[in-house]
Structure 1
Amino acid sequence: MIVGTRDLFGFERLHYHPRSGKWAGGISQLLRESGESAGEPDVAAIAGYLNGERLVGRTVLHDVLAVPPGHALIQSAHGLEVQDAPSQPVRGDLETVLRESLQRALDSGKRVALALSGGLDSALLLALLRELGAQQRVTSYILATGMPDYCERDAALELANLMQAKVKIVQASEADFVAALPRTTYAVEEPMFNLHPVAKLLLAEAMAEDGIELAISGDGADQVLRRDQSANYLPLCNALFGAASVGLHPPFVDTPVVEHLISLAADPNKQCLRDLGARLNLPDRLVHGPKRGRLAPAMNLDPLLERDRIPALAATLNLPAPTLQPDTERVLWTTLTLILDHLGATRRPV
């Protein structure tokens, strides 16, 4: 019997505990519902997080496994097993399937907002909302950090003004990012190498304060178009909005949109989106310009970074002691200690 299926790009998390035969979306939820303790850390999986070579199907806990993207969880006489559950390509029309996805969000009966950055993906969605006459009904939320090379306020406002959209600016400082890092880590339940996911939580929390129930976002376009099934970002986005009690609706991972996009050749340059953007009269910088990376700058993690404790934790995990000089290393070890403590797994590993 199929008890759960994970979508092709891993947007929805699905974890299971083989010994107890239980499953749930998140690790903490699974431990609560199974009545099991965290058990021991999974050293090999943790090493994979730290060196950028994640182990498919593994988590920071030895006894909790993750269903990989594009797989189903099966309950049989032998216990819980994982099997392939591939998606089938269905050729359609990109603009049509995106419009239909947006319309489903608008018809949900929930208060809906758009997470607007200065990039192509969310700009396309705003342009389509304008075509549907909803750019004033659906407020565009823009995160303004004021951080050099990590603030898209001006670019996003340019788009909003072009589309005559209703806008809400959410201010977030470095102190806000650092203060939100524990909440972010507890939600994603894995170590992170950069603070960019924190931006998702800050935006989601601002929406929740305003009574927003469903957020439309451009997340997933890159992953689907380049066939990236690593699930190292999309499920984090979903978990972070969920932690703020805001549903996340990214049309680019909606089933009909995915089925259409995988019927085409892989398109890492997102030419199909650029072509649609040209038809919708998006700014030239989006239609023809290069894609910009979106990593957060280095921030002062001293309030959270346990420098004296981390070498002992590394020794317990049989891992080399980090220098804590590179920013990625500081973020990884800070979030690793946070999540292991949160799950109750800072004991002798297996």
Structure 2
Amino acid sequence: MCGIFAAMTREGLPRDRCDEALERLEHRGPDGTGLWTSRDGRWTLGHTRLSIIGLNNGSQPMTSPDGAVHMVVNGEFYGYREIRERLRASGYHFSTESDSEIALHLYHERGIQAATELRGEFAVVIADERQRAMYAIRDRFGVKPLYYAVVGGEVFFASEIKALLALGVPARWDLEGATGGFGRTHEKTEFAGINTVPPGCYAIARDGTVRIYPYWDWEIPTAAQMQADTRTEEEVVADFREALRDSVRQRLVADVEVASYLSGGIDSCAVLGLAQQEMDRPIRAFTLTFDNALYDEAAIAEAQAKLVGATYHPIPITGREIAESFADAIWHSETQMFNGHGVAKFLLSRAVRDAGIKVVFTGEGSDEMLGGYPYFRVDALNDDPTLSADERAKLLDEMLGANAATRALMMPEQISNPEMQAIERRLGWLPATLNVAAVQTNSAAHLFRDDRPASVGQFQPLVGALDRLPIAQRVTGRDHLNQMLYVNAKTILPNFILNYLADRMEMAHSIEGRVPFLDHHVAEAAARVPVSMKVKGIREKHVLREAAKDVLIPEVYDRQKHPFTTPPTRNPNDPMLEFYRDTFASQAAKDQPIFDIEKASAALDQLLEVPDDQRIAAEGNLQRVASVVVMQELFSMS
């Protein structure tokens, strides 16, 4: 993995700005830097390298043999050896052993349609001087970040927003993006004028404009098509296992050691087990541990590692460490957090880097492919015609009881407001999945400043997100669970899960996370899995349990989903309370335009009075406030 930036300017970039952008991206690539500038000085590509494949000869930017096309890549291309051999047979010459070089020759062969042949986690910028255009491509699910901005007819791309700011893009709040919470549309950020290249899309920058085009989308069969599937359950399981196994096998290719993150959940356990079957040495598995038994999964993870033959490495995390690292995690995520789990992932990645690791397997994406979160299961239950009302109510009560640690976040009561009514009109039903996002925004509303522009207060982020998606083509006619899996994959997954629970916290410490569940072949296999094999009763990810049963300990096989969160504040001496007080008392707290700090301070004073099972949600609002204050200070927001 690496850091990249690109600029198309009228007069060129001063060298000190390029150097500052490279410095801002150094954590993404500490093994080398590179710059290319066009002959007229107006175009620039920058690259910071984390060497994983082709350790000695994969420097970037890369240039085509005729000197007209230039490229920078962040990420990994899987199956690159086969593509390289095919291209060699067609007469292409390779000058490096890096997987990145295939993109340069595929572009020569097929133009921008080369994107459809790339498999993996990646962001690519190609500068084609003949076409007077730059092409920016992002992987299918947005595992790798890619941002852009247009300022005064000049175009900038970068792996992280902080590099755009170094290049001269102004740091200004987008109030709609900053108040939208989980409902933020897939293109919007919290920075005005800075957008993401959406997952599965490419951007064409030319003559001071940027236009976005899709090259891939997650196609989930309609309910009628699913009913026509004649496969047996055993065949469905076998198909999914083979897709996942191949994805894991592809992600073992590296010129450095590949380790694994491991929790007590089925996702990371399945990935570790399948990966260990392919290895003749023990994989090092790293697990976060907490001193709160409700949130600690150390014993399960250790037993799982022992079963498959991996070595277990616990990484204890304290509340003091989370408080001390919160601001650093915000600097790297560039967005608000509502729980300390992102900070915990930041600390885990730091420990793994200190252990000499560069590449790890992670389990993100399984819940989003197979309906793992409680709200997905609620939508599946409510859409199940085989259940009576009493049976459905009993199962929902059972789910509530089994999710004591996170039910305030994951299973809030249904709200009815104009936004949810608008969603019901668009979809024809009320999703529990979107209710979670609406509740998150609604629960923080009492903390917003009264002097926010009226237009911001009236903005409906979930409606805005839905209106940016091809609902008629990809959502209508699908089972309710599959509808929400698609919507979630376009919003919460790239904006949040793959940000502060994946790439940004890993790359903060130069760790490359590999995500087998978000391989597009796995996603296509998951799309074909019947809903009843995604959620069976209240048993989530049934197909994965069966597909990985031989590598799972019984406790993991039988266990319900426990979303990864950090423990909430428990007593007056908790270090997070001190962090909140200091943050709310800062000058940046007064300067930020989103939250009323007096209201936030009053909520902080009452935090320990909130019932234990609801405190995690109440504290989440305070962490949003703290995130905004930290962003205000670190990015000098206006």
What TM-score do the two structures reach when normalised by structure 2? 0.50
Distance 1:184 1:317 in 2: 20
Which residue, out of 104, 113, 117, partners 2:259? 113
Distance 2:272 2:299 in 1: 16
Q: What does 1:87-102 correspond to in 2, within 5 Å? A: 87=217, 93-102=239-248
Whether the 8 Å CA contact 1:141–1:168 is kept in 2: the answer is: yes
Which residue, out of 276, 281, 297, partners 2:547? 276
Whether the 8 Å CA contact 2:187–2:198 is kept in 1: the answer is: yes
Whether the 8 Å CA contact 1:196–1:294 is kept in 2: the answer is: yes
> Structure 1 residues 178, 21: closer, same or farther in 2, change over 3 A?
same
Q: Deviations over 1:252-304 (max 9, x none)?
A: 112332233234456352121011122x1523333333212222222424235
Match of 1:150 in 2: 295
Which residue, out of 226, 246, 250, partners 1:104? 250
Distance 1:126 1:211 in 2: 19
Distance 2:266 2:595 in 1: 44
The percentage of aligned residue pairs carrying the same residue is 22
Whether the 8 Å CA contact 1:89–1:260 is kept in 2: the answer is: no
Is 1:247 matched up with 2:247?
Answer: no
Distance 2:367 2:255 in 1: 29
What residue identity is the alignment partner of 1:161? K
Q: Deviations over 1:131-173 (max 9, x none)?
A: 2234x43201111122231111111011112223212121211
Match of 1:13 in 2: 145
Match of 1:324, SS? helix
Whether the 8 Å CA contact 2:589–2:629 is kept in 1: the answer is: no
Match of 1:333, SS? helix
Distance 1:273 1:72 in 2: 32
> Structure 1 residues 318, 304: closer, same or farther in 2, change over 3 A?
closer
Distance 1:194 1:171 in 2: 17
Q: Deviations over 1:18-72 (max 9, x none)?
A: 223111121012222x33332x2111111113xx432432212112112233332
Match of 1:339 in 2: 631
What residue identity is the alignment partner of 2:198? P
Whether the 8 Å CA contact 1:124–1:277 is kept in 2: the answer is: yes
Match of 2:628, SS? helix
Whether the 8 Å CA contact 2:276–2:282 is kept in 1: the answer is: no
Match of 1:125, SS? helix
Is 1:285 matched up with 2:559?
Answer: no
Match of 1:171 in 2: 316
What TM-score do the two structures reach when normalised by structure 1? 0.87
Match of 2:498 in 1: 234
Distance 1:124 1:83 in 2: 35
Distance 1:303 1:261 in 2: 42
Q: Report the number of matched residues.
A: 339
Distance 1:76 1:224 in 2: 36
Whether the 8 Å CA contact 1:9–1:224 is kept in 2: the answer is: no
Match of 1:209 in 2: 354
Match of 1:324 in 2: 603
> Structure 1 residues 303, 45: closer, same or farther in 2, change over 3 A?
same
Q: What does 1:189-204 correspond to in 2, within 5 Å? A: 189-204=334-349
Distance 2:270 2:510 in 1: 25
Is 1:294 matched up with 2:564?
Answer: yes
Match of 2:307 in 1: 162
> Structure 1 residues 99, 55: closer, same or farther in 2, change over 3 A?
closer
> Structure 1 residues 340, 312: closer, same or farther in 2, change over 3 A?
closer
Q: Which has the larger radius of gyration?
A: 2
Larger relative contact order, structure 1 or 2 (CA cutoff 8 Å, min sep 6): 1
Shift, 1:88, TM fit: 6.0
Shift, 1:181, TM fit: 1.1
Whether the 8 Å CA contact 2:333–2:505 is kept in 1: the answer is: yes
| Structure 1 unaligned regions, length at least 5 | none
Higher helix share: 2
Match of 1:41 in 2: 173
Which stretch of structure 1 is more off in the superposition, 81-90 or 121-130? Answer: 81-90
Instruction: Name the Cα RMSD after superposition.
Output: 2.5
Whether the 8 Å CA contact 1:204–1:246 is kept in 2: the answer is: yes
What residue identity is the alignment partner of 1:26? E
> Structure 1 residues 141, 216: closer, same or farther in 2, change over 3 A?
same
Match of 1:307 in 2: 584
Is 1:60 matched up with 2:194?
Answer: no
